Structure 1
Amino acid sequence: METKGNKLLLLIGTAWLFDALDVALLSFIMPVIKESWHLSAGQMGAVSAVTSLGMMIGALGCGYLADKWGRKPVLIMTLLLFSLGNLALTVTPNVETFLLVRLITGIGLGGELPVAATIIADHFTGTKRARMLVLVDSFWAFGWILASVLSFVVMPKFGWRITVLITAFMGLYTLIMRRHLPEKAPVEQTTRLGFWPALKQVWSTKYRRATVCLSILWFVIMFAYYGMFLWLPSVLVMRGFSMVHSFGYTVLMSIAQLPGYYLAAWLIGKLPRKVVLATYLIGTMLSAWAFGTATTETIILISGAWLSFFTLGAWGIMIAFTPGQFEVAARGMGMGFAQSIGRIGATIGPYLVGALIGIGFKIPAIFMVFVGALILGVVVLLFGLHDEDR
């Protein structure tokens, strides 16, 4: 069982890595296309937000399809979609076409995460499930690190299009998944409910409180994460660092994600998950305040590392927390719906940063917006959710 569990962790974790690689790479591409296409702050906000809009559609639609058709075919479909999307991205001639392709790519990206988490949740229970979900989410950090390295080594020499082309070949991984991913989880059962009845199910009295609270929490976490991290290289450039130098800083900040995940996975077996998640959210809040107000290289680096540590650890704990709030037949839709609401936050966050910069807001003031959202998240977590799984 342990060997099968490690194999499943590697299969799903690698898919997670590709998803993170794509999202992270966009943050590095943004300052490049801003210069080459002479984009305004508002257009930059649209570039960062459109992928999240697609991800919102993908999370809801693919979560439902995972309950209806099964997890494996839907997961493979999402991986193929965003790989083909990246292939198309390499030939986009202008920002308008770029936005359209990123919207389509985002549907695959958004669909992959909740379906992949549901597969892990179906195979394990209790503390083992929670730890496996945090560990699979830790592959997100490796995706960011790989994106940082590609941006630091490949992009300055060959441009962003060749860099994206490399990621398009990740679609070949679906051949491995098709062969090695189990057809069905031990507890998987699909439902023949239509879309609207399935959606009504997660809003029934049985799940309503969990659906509302999880949706708010996912909104807050994605609003803060995408708003801060998609703009991270650009913020460093605005702070006076050269573009390539900022990539190097981001590599170091990305590495800090890994101990955040691993400590969270260990703490989940020692403390109530609500306590661990609240601690990480508060850590994210304090780190965001420190990064937003930092004035020296040393403070920017240290606070950025802590921001990576806590923000991604909190995301991992949420991945562990969410599936267990729904029974198997409603799990795909429940996970997908909560994350689709989160994607609204992921769409608003980066767009809002661009809009606020465009009207003259300074970086410290913008980061205080994320601090306020995180305070709301802590309140909802502590007073709205229970620790037990279904």
Structure 2
Amino acid sequence: MLIERDDAAISAAGAHASAVAAPGTAPHTAGARPGTHQPGQVTRGQIVARIERMPGNMMHVRARLLIGLATFFDGFDVIAIAATLPLLIGHWSLTPGQIGLLIAAPSVGQLVGALLFPALAERFGRLRSIGWSAGIIGLMSVFCGFAPSFEIFLLLRIVQGLGLGGELPVAATYINEVTRAHGRGRFVLLYEVVFPIGLMVSNGLGAVLVPRYGWEVMYFLGGVPLVLFFVLRRLIPESPRWLAEKGRLAEADSALRQFEARARAPLPPVGDTSRFDAMTARHPRRRVRDLVSRAYLGRTLAVWMLWATCGFIQYGLSTWLPTVYKTVYHAPLQLALNLAAGASVLGVVGSLVCAMIVDRVGRKPVINVSFLLCALSLVLAGVFHASSVYVVATFCSLAMGFLACGFITAYVYTPELYPTSIRAMGCGLGGAWLKIAAIFAPGLIGATIGTGNLSVAFYGLAVVPLLAAATVFWLGIETKGQVLEELEV
């Protein structure tokens, strides 16, 4: 109720706000917050100019927290299977084939979701799509906790995958679109860090709760995102960039005024917006097929390889780690879960470091160096695979930590590469390649574990980030510090 009354006050204040120093806008009115904009003849260029003059404020924080809640539980539910798999194997007497199916099959749902929800976001809005996907994630997680059989559990995980696959690309799109160029990498990555935090918390809670309360508790906790289905659109505004691109300029102005009303200090004048008007007018409206046109093909190939690498390593390695430690190295269940949780901690640390440096050194250097170090760690895990579980776990944890650096940077880098009209679909197709890789990676790891030859698995995994680093280096562009509309071609 307090939040609703606060939003009502913001809307009331925004209704009386006036434009400042923009050509053709009205003068100040008494009591208006300096720097806010009065509804009138609004252009896309003016919307972009107002976004670019606006530093982060409490509405940005609210958006980051609420959408971050969905992203947090996206990470939580993705890795919950790793914490619960050792018990599920015994609970339903699963065969190696069923184990591989349980890990890989939900990626089919995620693949469909990665294509479906970005398409919905392009048509119906970013927040509607995020709310729908969060609702599916939460509801299916609760149902998983009551699953009476392996077959029903598997089916529920596939349906849940629709939401898991669709939430992250659209959430990254929204956060990028409401953020100005200056400091965008740091702002977005500090939001995206909630995903590896979700992985870490899932592993940590799994290590504490699963041995005591059973596997079901993880899926009951994973039901929290269902709340966002009911409240998200009431608490934060739609993306002004998306509304403006759709020609809904009055709604874009209203949404943006909700951000402006939360500014900590008076905003500077909008000034001459001709530069931004030129940016939004010089390029045609793009369609999905333009993702593989001559203008965007290089960027798209770099994005696909980047996301496929993250999926191959994340799903092919992290979901198997507790089981590998327990079955290959004969570690007790509690120790296996603790070692896997340690990998998640390094992922969070690496993500925070990236957030601090990505606007200084650029997106491409962070991705390339992270992937090269990930590959090196996997090679060392293969070299020393016959050592103790602690040695192998150290190298695997380092690999996951370095992967997290490149993975999280993909969420700020990918939306920057595409125009607003196809941004969500560009992110969604990248996420689709992540899911395709996730479908095949667990089978590869399962086959090598079955033979007991872990070195082959580690060496094979190491090749993937090496190829990704080369692809991003040659085909990717640098995007740091540039307005999103400047990056269009």
Q: Which has the higher contact order (CA 8 A, sep 6+)?
A: 1
Give yes or no for contact 2:125–2:242 (8 Å, CA) kept in 1: no
For the pair 1:98 / 2:190, whether they are aligned, the reply is: no
Q: How many residues align?
A: 385
Q: How many Å apart are 1:387 and its aligned residue?
A: 1.0
Q: How many Å apart are 1:191 and its aligned residue?
A: 5.6
> 2:215: which partner in 1?
160
Deviations 1:88-124 (A, max 9, x none): 2122222222221111000100000001000011112
Distance in 1 between the 2:413 and 2:187 partners?
11
Distance in 2 between the 1:356 and 1:324 partners?
38
Aligned letter for 1:356?
T
Give yes or no for contact 1:79–1:108 (8 Å, CA) kept in 2: yes
| Pairing of 1:202-281 with structure 2 (within 5 A) | 202-238=291-327, 239-281=329-371
> 1:148: which partner in 2?
203
| Pairing of 1:121-132 with structure 2 (within 5 A) | 121-126=176-181, 128-132=183-187
Give yes or no for contact 1:45–1:353 (8 Å, CA) kept in 2: no
For the pair 1:10 / 2:71, whether they are aligned, the reply is: no
> 1:169: which partner in 2?
224
Give yes or no for contact 2:106–2:161 (8 Å, CA) kept in 1: yes
> 1:56: which partner in 2?
111
> 2:130: which partner in 1?
75
For the pair 1:367 / 2:448, whether they are aligned, the reply is: no
> 1:332: which partner in 2?
424
Q: Look up the SS of the partner of 2:222 in the other structure.
A: helix
Say which is worse superposed, 316-325 or 86-95, in terms of deviation.
Answer: 86-95
Distance in 2 between the 1:185 and 1:232 partners?
42
> 2:256: which partner in 1?
none
Give yes or no for contact 1:189–1:328 (8 Å, CA) kept in 2: no
Aligned letter for 1:330?
I
Q: How many Å apart are 1:312 and its aligned residue?
A: 0.9
Identity %: 25
Give yes or no for contact 2:305–2:468 (8 Å, CA) kept in 1: yes
Q: How many Å apart are 1:223 and its aligned residue?
A: 0.8
Aligned letter for 1:165?
F
Which consecutive residues of structure 2, in runs of 5 or more, have no partner in the other structure? 1-54, 248-285, 480-486
1:199 and 1:361, CA in 2 relative to 1: closer, same or farther beyond 3 A? farther
Q: How many Å apart are 1:151 and its aligned residue?
A: 1.3
> 1:43: which partner in 2?
98
Q: How many Å apart are 1:301 and its aligned residue?
A: 4.1
Q: How many Å apart are 1:169 and its aligned residue?
A: 3.4
Say which is worse superposed, 287-296 or 205-214, in terms of deviation.
Answer: 287-296
For the pair 1:346 / 2:438, whether they are aligned, the reply is: yes
Distance in 1 between the 2:367 and 2:407 partners?
9
Choose the corresponding residue for 1:384, options 475, 479, 483. 475
Deviations 1:113-147 (A, max 9, x none): 00100001111243522222222221112212221
Aligned letter for 1:232?
L
Radius of gyration: which is bigger? 2
Distance in 1 between the 2:316 and 2:392 partners?
17
Q: How many Å apart are 1:306 and its aligned residue?
A: 1.6
Choose the corresponding residue for 1:300, options 381, 392, 397. 392
Q: How many Å apart are 1:43 and its aligned residue?
A: 1.4
Deviations 1:295-324 (A, max 9, x none): 124423432332232111110111111011
1:190 and 1:230, CA in 2 relative to 1: closer, same or farther beyond 3 A? farther
Q: How many Å apart are 1:175 and its aligned residue?
A: 3.6
Give yes or no for contact 1:45–1:350 (8 Å, CA) kept in 2: yes
Q: How many Å apart are 1:198 and its aligned residue?
A: 4.1
Distance in 1 between the 2:234 and 2:372 partners?
42
> 1:286: which partner in 2?
376
1:48 and 1:300, CA in 2 relative to 1: closer, same or farther beyond 3 A? same
Q: How many Å apart are 1:190 and its aligned residue?
A: 5.9
Say which is worse superposed, 360-369 or 373-382, in terms of deviation.
Answer: 360-369
Which consecutive residues of structure 1, in runs of 5 or more, have no partner in the other structure? none
For the pair 1:33 / 2:58, whether they are aligned, the reply is: no
TM-score, with normalisation over the residues of structure 1?
Answer: 0.93
Distance in 1 between the 2:167 and 2:78 partners?
13
1:9 and 1:23, CA in 2 relative to 1: closer, same or farther beyond 3 A? same
Deviations 1:324-382 (A, max 9, x none): 11001110111111211221011111122123334x15222111111011111111111
Q: How many Å apart are 1:155 and its aligned residue?
A: 1.4
Give yes or no for contact 1:67–1:191 (8 Å, CA) kept in 2: no
TM-score, with normalisation over the residues of structure 2?
Answer: 0.75
> 1:118: which partner in 2?
173
Q: How many Å apart are 1:176 and its aligned residue?
A: 4.1
Distance in 2 between the 1:2 and 1:272 partners?
20
Give yes or no for contact 1:19–1:143 (8 Å, CA) kept in 2: yes
Distance in 2 between the 1:127 and 1:224 partners?
32
1:191 and 1:335, CA in 2 relative to 1: closer, same or farther beyond 3 A? farther
> 1:322: which partner in 2?
414
Aligned letter for 1:158?
Y
Aligned letter for 2:398?
W
Give yes or no for contact 1:253–1:308 (8 Å, CA) kept in 2: yes
